[in-house]
Chains A and B, each alone.
Chain A
């Protein structure tokens, strides 16, 4: 199918979800009004590590309106530990601390009362007696042999230490003409949605059913709830018709959910926990990767990068969760867009006494891209080759696709050189360099940053079996169902919550395209989890590929039924019939219209061709394209599709004040066929804003005493409309051969390259002094101090 033949895909149609949101009619979890609801407030630890000697809740329980105070001891006796990604059974995590506190802010007890205000009042009256324990904050310190283990039962702080050798690394290093080493550090930031996490649970003892409404973006959420509470899977019903106020990966409040679900069963009333901002920041368990990269790179004097050794040391925080897997996903694009022939990758994850790490947009890919791109800049500087030219020499060429990288993933398609050329032409690169030099001549620090990177998309979670051999996952399917009702109207069911990605628009667009029906006439519904087909939620930039594929193929199945019905009615071979916008036409020009087809499908079994079910409905479960095999020899096809982005940034700042200002931002973006241009554009612009935050502003900072210093929006700084510039997007489309319309993922775009590009611009601005700043976020004080030190030294 070509663009010209498409009626709805890739057209600038409005996003259907927007209407309810601009009217203030979104249905967020905190908006749900359930009679008789009880409210939870948390008693949080003030110490980063301590033994719990006793909890005295008598004063709180005596207060009017207080219903219960729950401790970790009681809860852990009733529920199973929360799921770990790795095989680390002795790193046990419960919603409330059990016996030992492992980070400042960790929940020690939950107070349940008739209102949130009463619960907060009572939480202040709970007395927790503790004995301080040693603690460790820094990842490298946590690795030391004498470091205090955060989980003594586990024996050390090491959760994961795995070295992969893909290709002839030693030989390539020996043969290379040049080598260099570098270290870069990615600070602990997160996506910090404006809506905090919230959940309501209600237990019906007569039906033995747990109903859950949550601000959730999490694969296998209902399964995890059932497991933790030891309930049958069909006794947990998650309601997907809840709007999620932003997530970008982190809204995975399984501990909150298990806590309120237990309380709802125990107390026989609906129980609700909506984090306040402080709870969210310090103990929402939603902080992102914090990673030190040590890289050795081997290359020739002509700029050919032969091999790379990368060690990534990640600070997972106090419990394991899925955090270590964020070291696994980047394996699927470990060489970025480059033809690097061999790679050694050592992935290390350690526990520390910080809050728990959760999935953040890109699942570890943005930090890795930052490390790879910084490496490329250093190689160029070392050789005195232009940074763009160095990249051009190493980029995979359009004619080389499909291209298999050393770690086993095959990139589906791309045309990196063309995207870059289009961006340079759009931006007038020579003029941009002249502008940088003019700014420098004015006495400003000015620099150009570039980043070329990939967005692996369509996630099939292959990092799970790769890093945990007990895990046999080789599917990460997504289902959709399309129905034509007896009046002839089309309804599509999708089986997930959404947090702004426009899945209703996506589903309606692709089904409208397949059936030739205006998407605005198609209804999209979200059944609850027990009425849903299997799915894995919108993670890993997967929904355009997976939900788009499932809905399109269900619609195509339905179209086949319509063609069979129409052909049968006209007495012709279905293969000779044509379908156009709901009408079946015979080669001789006779035709049968929509209303007649619907009438036959719904009322006239006697007119149906044999083998056709009545009722006009079709479901399709989409398997991840390319997801067929378990890992072998440390290699696996990680994700199916690879979007490309090229960032070009001009920054300027005063050498003393060092307040960074983005003067120009151009991005070239190729995510294959775009389903809805508004949505993809918004994702890209929003991702760049996140990237600006990660590069310049955002960090969960802990002091030496293990206390989180950035507990509010006054300390944890996020980009406002002043910090985010107007961004120019240069569009390019290299369709994926693996998907229904040629689409790839775009949900993580922008964020995956912006930090690298901004860092590159700052390093370029610092280059006259011959210094670098190798830790994100790039703080104004660090930049100005670095310049001052360089000038003093000179």
Chain B
């Protein structure tokens, strides 16, 4: 154990050595119609105890990014083409896949979007939770069962001692996601990736699950990558945010900074389309157009066809992810007109 583990979970992490550092990660999928670059030269850092929210619409590459981090990109169609995934000082992509597999569960863990299809329908939930102790820690059957019950109690499943022998389909959606969370946290991983953990759930249950995640994160002093399309949902939890569009990072920075000073038209569009965040009397303005077809990307900036700020420069070249003028170094946006967008936001 190193000293960073005793950092308070909510405190600003030491920027010197991130737990996870991804550089220029590119993930491609071969389809019959051509090759899709689902994740395109994405870089990110997550420090110990930090929560990074990865935001974007369906098809923005969030899930493929998560799969790549866990070594779960489904081959042979999908593959990590280039980049580095440094976890705790080791480049996972330079190691065989089995190396990442061994880290899964113990160091890295994941909670998936749809808890019903993500749980094995023919195995009792206690077996699915207890399996981590049995297979990874050599626990006996009885011990694994006891630990499964403990975990189910901790994640707030009532009558855990009885429900440990039930099957996934006998649980409600929220309870199933609690089972998934219990499974992910069983071996106390240092980094949890939650891929749209509340999307498949009722609104009332969403808040409970988010609260549970936040509590457990503080309790275990974990780092968290929270993948979502919902800017409102992550507002109370995330330290930093990263917005993705068509496989590229379009804006990233401290949550407060990004939400106050929107520097990318896409972020602005997302913000304006959320009730509540747009302000009580403001009209909701959806982003016009639809997410791009990854097989037929526009020239230059990928957001250009849907963007009100677009000019010839946006057609000519793809903008780099650069520090936002007037903002702190950590706040970056990939927009030729970032300064204009910020100024427009301040005046409007």
Partners in one complex: no
